[in-house]
Each structure stands twice: as C-alpha cells, then as structure tokens.
A and B are shown apart, each in its own frame.
Chain A
Amino acid sequence: MTQTRLDDDGLSLDRIGIYAILLGLVVFYLLPLEAGIVTSFKTMRAYGQTAPFLPALGGFTVAQWSSAVDQLSAGLFNSVLMAVPATVFSALLGSMTAYGLTNIDWRGQVGVYVLFVAGIFVPYQAVLVPLKRFWSQWAPLHIWLEPIWNLTGLGTDYAGLLALTITHIAYGIPICTLLFRSYYKSVSDEMVEAARLDGASIRRIYRRIILPLSVPMFAVTLIYQFTQIWNDLLFALIIVGPGDASVITQSLIGIGQSEAVTNFPLQMAAAFVTALPTLLVYIFFGEQFAKGVTA
C-alpha cells in the first residue's frame, strides 16, 4: 500500500532530486567512456577542432581502429597465447588444491592452507627482482628449451612469454584456492563419503563429483584470473621485456606516441581493442559467474 501511494504522487520534490542526482552520477561515470569512444572515431584534424565528448560530424573515420588492430595484432596474439593457459591452469590447480585442503582429511592441512592464504598478500613489487633473477639465472628457459624455440620458429623471446605464463599460474593459485575452498566447504560431506563408499578413489571423486559441480566457481575464477592476467603490465615488463613476444599491454604503452603529436584517437581505439577480450569473457561466462558468486 505504501509503495503504491509513493508511486502515485511520484513527482514529489524528493523524487525529482533523487533522479537528478542519479542522472548526474550516470553522466559522470559514463562521460569518459563516451569521450573515449567518440574520440576513437575522429581524425587528428577533427580531434583538434571538437570538444573531446562531442562527435565530429565531418571528421568521422575508422582508420584509427584499423591502425590500432594492425599495430596490436602481434601483442594480441601473444597475450592470448599467455593469458588463456595461465587462466585455465591457475583455476584448475587452485580447484585441485582446494579439494585437497577441504574435502580430504589429513594432518597439518590448516598450516598448508595458511601458507596459501599468505601467498595472496605477497605484493607484486616485492617479488620483481627475485623473479627476474629466478628466470634468468636459475630457470633459463631460453637455454633449456632451445630445441623447441628452434623447431617452432618462435624465437627465444618466447621463453620469456612461457616464463610469464608460469609466473601468472603460480601467482594465481592462492586466490583461486581461496575461492574454490569457500565453495567446496558447502559441498556435502555425506555426498563425498557416499562416493567413497561407492568405491571411488580420491582422484575419481574429484573427476566425477567435485569437478562437474564446480562449473559456476570456474566461471568466477576464470573471469577474475583472465582479467588480472590480461591487464597485467608489471610482470610482462620485467619478465618478457621488449621484443617479438611482447604482450598487448606492452604494445599499448607505445602506441600513438612515436609521432610529433600524441595521436589520442589512435590511443583510444587501441585501448578499446585491448580491453575487448576481458569484456567478451564477462559476456560469455556472465550467467555462470552470477551463479558462482551467489553460491
């Protein structure tokens, strides 16, 4: 009853105020995005003559986008090559770890779990130097895997990309473990016991019971990890460095800056091209993601 009455005299001053504030916030948050999109379709001339958030009627062009895709395609390829396996393996290993720490009973598992949790809080900056030394001196993949680089013709630069992939997997395991563990705690103990009585081994229980039930949580970790790994620049700069194997975030830094004037429209287009895959992942896994978050 109260609700309908509020709706009836809906145009009270209070409501107008609320809507005005909401509208203001929407504009505030969306304006930079709108400006970015509009700008990415402008020629350099039009960019100079119009306000950033207004469309340039005379100077519309898609050249910036095609140029961005051209310049970023190598980075895009490398990023996919690195981010997809890194995401999948960190989620998978995190899931297995969480299963071992949650649904199987053994001594000292709390201690091990605490180590994993601590791993989440190790800041990137703290490990940069050790990480660089590790990959160059202790685990020189460019030397160890030389036949592979020669055979595939990828070149030793890609040893850095492999190192980056492994680093992201390792760095992602703790948070994935934490996420999966909270999910596996809600899995019925009786059901796991029933599977044990049915004769399934620990591995088979994971494979046939736990893994199929984890789909929503995989959506959560896949989206989270993919976004993290795709957007990372710091590790890429340290481990991969400039060269053939650069990932897309590395390519993005330099784009549009080589010319006399910074080419903002090109930078905008490039930024959107770079962000597109993370957006797609959200769209593809969105429904499962919602299930996993609410589970």
Chain B
Amino acid sequence: MAELELDDLTKVFVEDDGNEIVAVDGVDVTVADGEFLVLVGPSGCGKSTTLRMIAGLESITSGELRLAGERINERKPADRNTAMVFQSYALYPHMTVKQNMSFGLEESTDMPAAEIAETVTEAAEMMGIGDLLDRKPGELSGGQQQRVALGRAIVRDPEVFLMDEPLSNLDAKLRSKMRTELQRLQDDLDVTTIYVTHDQTEAMTMGDRIAVLDDGVLQQVGTPLECYHEPANRFVADFIGEPAMNFFEVEVQGDRLLAEDFAYPVSNETLSTVGDRTELSLGIRPEDIELRTEASSPHDFETVVDVVEPTGDENNLYLTFDPDASEPDTFIATTGGMNRIEAGQPIVAHVPEDAIHLFDADTGQAVKNRSLDDAETLGRAV
C-alpha cells in the first residue's frame, strides 16, 4: 500500500511531421494510500494517457511520478508494483483461466509453482470464479472474463490498481452490479486505485474522489459531491450530473441578469460576488427547478412543456419559452414520476436564487456556486 503522487505530469506526443500534441498538461494529484480515485473526462481528454504513464506503457515527457515518495518515472512497467485492468480485459486467449492468472507471477517472481497455484486459487475463490480455472477465456461470458481480468490483477498483490474503463464492455445491468462489487473489493483489499472512465455515473458512485480532466488539463479534484455542488468551472458543472445542468447566457444589467427569454433579478449579495463582470453563464440543475402552477415571485417563469421523458421514478421535462418555434430551445427540469404532466401544457418554472451557479462567460470559472447549507455537510462526511 502506498501513496501515489502525480507531480506536474505532462505528455507531449510528437507526430511524424514534427507537430507536437500535448495530451496531458501538468496534471497534479496525490492519491492517498488506499484511496479510490476516479479519473473522468470525455474521450480524448488524456485520462487514458495519464493512466498509461503511471503504468509505464507511455513515457513521461516531464513531471515526476512518485510511489511512496520514490521517483518511478524510469522504472520498467513490471517493476512499478502496479497491476492494470484493461477495457478489453486483454486475457491471453490460448491459456486457461489458471494460466492467465499465473502468468504474471511466473514472469515476475521466483515464487515456487505450488505457491503460485495456491495464490491463484485463493484469488479465484475471492472473485467467484473458482470453478472456471480450467476454462479458456473464449468459453466465458463477458462478466466472467471481467472477473478473470480482475483476478489476474489481484494475484499480483500490487501497491496500485490501474483500471482503464473496465466495465464499459458489460451490459447495463451487469455493469451496475460489478460497480458495487468492485467498490467492495477495493474496500476489502484497501489498495490504492486509479480508475479511468468517461461515465460520470461511475465516477460519482465509485470514487472516494474524482479528478475531472478536459483537453489534458485537470479541471477539478474533489469528492463526488464537491464536484457536483461546487464545480470549479462550467466544464465540470456540465460534465458531472445527469441530466446535465442547464446553462443560460446572461448579461448583468443593474440588479438583473438578462437572458434571451427572461430577466432574472438577483440579490445584492450575489451582485457583489459577480463584481464588475458583465457576461455570465447562469447554471441551474434540473432537480433544483421547482414547478408551480402560477407565477408568484420574480424568480418564476412561465414556460411550456415541449417533451416529457418519463423514467419511472421521475419525469424529465423539456421546457421552452418559445413553444411556436419548430425546434425550440429547451431546458430540463425533473419532477416526481407520479406527477401527470403532458407535452404542450403551460407550466411555471421557479428558479430559486440559492440554487443557481454563475460562471464567467469567457473563462468558464465559477463565480458563484449554489449555497450548500445541507449539501456541504454531506460532502464532507463522505
């Protein structure tokens, strides 16, 4: 077990024609001993490259990688005390499950065969694949292959687990089951883990902390609830949360934020945090929009329901200010699944001021996040 430090880690790929592409740009994170860190971002954001640098499959252009305080930039992949689980599982198709799991121990240690067999059996029992040891990967289901891949990593008894979208090849039901199982496993083994995914649900549910990456640059590191309620910038706000946060481009005029379709009055307190900025993005999470039948406050806006998406437990409502347009601009509000609401129906959306986020329109930096009287305590308690 050990702490893993990524100190200003940078990867520059040089193309054949001399073009330089910065894939990872100065990523700075310290993963505590036994912590489960999720590296999340859209595809091409550099999260896999970061993981591959840690594994040693990709050289580090600059910056330092330290395991338990010791620089490991130059160490061979096999000598870094990490084990990786790949998206494709990367099992050896001509070997049985037992041989797949023994391979690493045979190649990297002097462990006698009997001890290897014992370790492998133990790990297989733990993963619930004890009865599959003599099968080949081709005869296993996706979920079983996934377990073999995990078992192969566990057998190595590494200091750090590296996981590259390990659940993305599973069907939805199995994925959520394996999600829980993986968390429990990581908890039991208490091994430092870095988990790469593009799926914000996995990030929210699995990580002790989330590191959000975009375009090679680290956007925010924090607990899932911090990232959700106190996003550092508009990118994080947009990326974390499903359905995503609604954004409106607004202009500050006096004590009001002027959007295309509405004017939103704000308090002096909010105005003071805005300072002398004039162009802002106003963000509001779908579940923070309250639906009413009559407009009674300045934060109530008359809208029309464009589309209703029932998900059972709740309804996603696509609301619009402009019902006559053929493809109207919409924003999303969620409401309980038992509410009977139909498309075309007029409805009043209440946007409470303590739930709004404001972002600088140019830089995207958060100017004001929602006030967190309840959520803050929640976030810290995790």
Contact = CB atoms under 8 A, between A and B. Distances in A.
Contact of A199 (B91, B93, B94, B104): B104
Contacts, number: 59
Interface stretch (B80-88, B240-248, B292-300): B80-88
Interface residues of B, number: 23
Interface stretch (A141-149, A189-197, A234-242): A189-197
Interface string B56-80: 1100000000000000000001100
A119 B87 CA distance: 39
B92 A199 contact: no
A188 interface: yes
Contacts of A130: none
B126 interface: no
Given A190-B88, A208-B103, A197 B55 contact: yes
B92 A195 contact: yes
B107 A200 contact: yes
B94 A213 contact: yes
A197 B92 contact: no
B120 to A, nearest CB: 13
- Pick the most buried of A190, A197, A212, A213: most chain B CB atoms within 10 A of its CB: A197
Contacts of A204: 107
A213 B93 CA distance: 8
Contacts of B103: 195, 198, 200, 208
B339 interface: no
A212 B96 CA distance: 13
A198 B108 contact: yes
A209 interface: yes
B77 to A, nearest CB: 5
A293 to B, nearest CB: 19
Contacts of B91: 191, 194
A199 B108 contact: yes
B90 interface: yes
A193 B90 contact: yes
B48 to A, nearest CB: 11
Nearest to A201: B107
A188 B108 CA distance: 22
A143 B103 CA distance: 48
B104 A190 contact: no
Nearest to B55: A197
Contacts of A208: 103
Nearest to A211: B94
A200 B91 CA distance: 14
B210 to A, nearest CB: 25
A194 B107 contact: no
* Top-8 shortest CB links A-B: A199-B108, A199-B78, A198-B104, A190-B90, A194-B90, A199-B107, A191-B90, A200-B107
A198 B78 contact: yes
Nearest to A194: B90
Given A190-B86, A190-B87, A208-B103, A196 B57 contact: yes
Given A190-B87, A212-B94, A213-B94, 14 more contacts: A190-B86, A191-B90, A193-B55, A193-B77, A193-B86, A196-B77, A197-B57, A197-B77, A198-B78, A198-B103, A198-B104, A198-B108, A198-B156, A199-B108
